[in-house]
Structure 1
Amino acid sequence: MRKTLLLLVPVLLLSACSWGITMDDAAKNVRTAWSGDVSSCKELGKVTVSVMDHVGPVDRNTITVRDELEVLARNQAAQMHADTIKPLAEPSNGSQPWGAYQCGAHQTPSTHSPSAPTNPNGASGNAQTFPVHGG
């Protein structure tokens, strides 16, 4: 029984890492401009968000960490009344800086990755990203 409990504790701790990181209602209106031009937008500031990127000696899933960083950045941007965020650097040690912008009617391309796929008609796809929560 004790051995089983010792084996389950690390698994439960690793699965609990993303608990509590949820997108606020206001943040659902914040777009992520992965490769979009924000030069016509009003810069409202910079936010730096961080999450645990490893638990003890075990690295967390990179995609999960990136998704959580984006959610936290969108939450912070919504509090600043921003409608667009853009990563300013790659994540490092579980931390990432983001620019917060107010673009208003200016629609910045919002894609999941810097190399957005094109549709069969040749137009680049505009899509809004949302983190996938797994169980």
Structure 2
Amino acid sequence: MKTLPLILAATLPLAACSWGIKLDSGGEKVRTAWNGDVAGCKAMGTVTVSVLDHVGPVDRSDLKVRDELEVMARNEAAGMSADTIKPLGDPRDGQQSWGAYHCGPQARAERPAMRIQQKDANGTVETYPVKDH
């Protein structure tokens, strides 16, 4: 019975490391180009971010990991004077690289509705609209 409290004591601090990842005021101004269209934009660099994708032997939700990676990338890109990011690949082991771009004011006007995509066991993608704020 003494092992359970020790396991919990060891894993809870690790789980807390990625809790509370929030979009900051700079990141709110950065859009995500999910369609990959950054034509006419100036490349500002690459952002690589990482979060825990598992806690001990338990894998975290893929959707939650992807969401946290996007939030962190948007926050980091804002510090590079970028207003747009685009994923450069899928997340791997809790890490993902993003291209950071400056597209100017037209990027805000052309901003498509934000959507969450999740694949089911058959590989089918389901899309859920997300409230844009």
Which TM-score tier does this pair reach, normalised by the shorter chain?
A: 0.7 to 0.9
Structure 2 matches for 1:1-135, cutoff 5 A?
5=5, 9=9, 12-13=12-13, 16-107=16-107, 108-110=110-112, 111-113=114-116, 128=132
Give per-residue Cα distances to partners, 1:82-104, cap 9 Å, x unaligned: 00000010000000010000000
Measured on the aligned residues, the alpha-carbon RMSD in Å equals: 3.0
SS in 1 for 2:101: strand
Higher strand share: 2
Any unmatched runs of 5+ in structure 2? Answer: 118-124
**Residue identity in the other structure for 2:104:** G
The whole-number CA distance in structure 2 between the counterparts of 1:83 and 1:39 is 14
**What TM-score results when the alignment is normalised by the length of structure 2?**
0.73
CA separation of 1:46 and 1:11: change in aligned 2, threshold 3 A: closer
Q: Is the 8 A contact 1:38 1:103 kept in 2?
A: yes
Q: Aligned pair count?
A: 122
The whole-number CA distance in structure 2 between the counterparts of 1:81 and 1:40 is 16
Any unmatched runs of 5+ in structure 1? Answer: 118-124, 131-135
Answer with 2-11 or 52-61: which moved more.
2-11
CA separation of 1:59 and 1:73: change in aligned 2, threshold 3 A: same
Q: Which residue of the partner structure matches residue 120 of structure 2?
A: none
Q: Is the 8 A contact 1:83 1:104 kept in 2?
A: yes
Q: Is the 8 A contact 1:85 1:98 kept in 2?
A: yes
**Residue identity in the other structure for 1:101:** Y
SS in 1 for 2:48: strand
CA separation of 1:7 and 1:46: change in aligned 2, threshold 3 A: closer
**Residue identity in the other structure for 1:37:** D
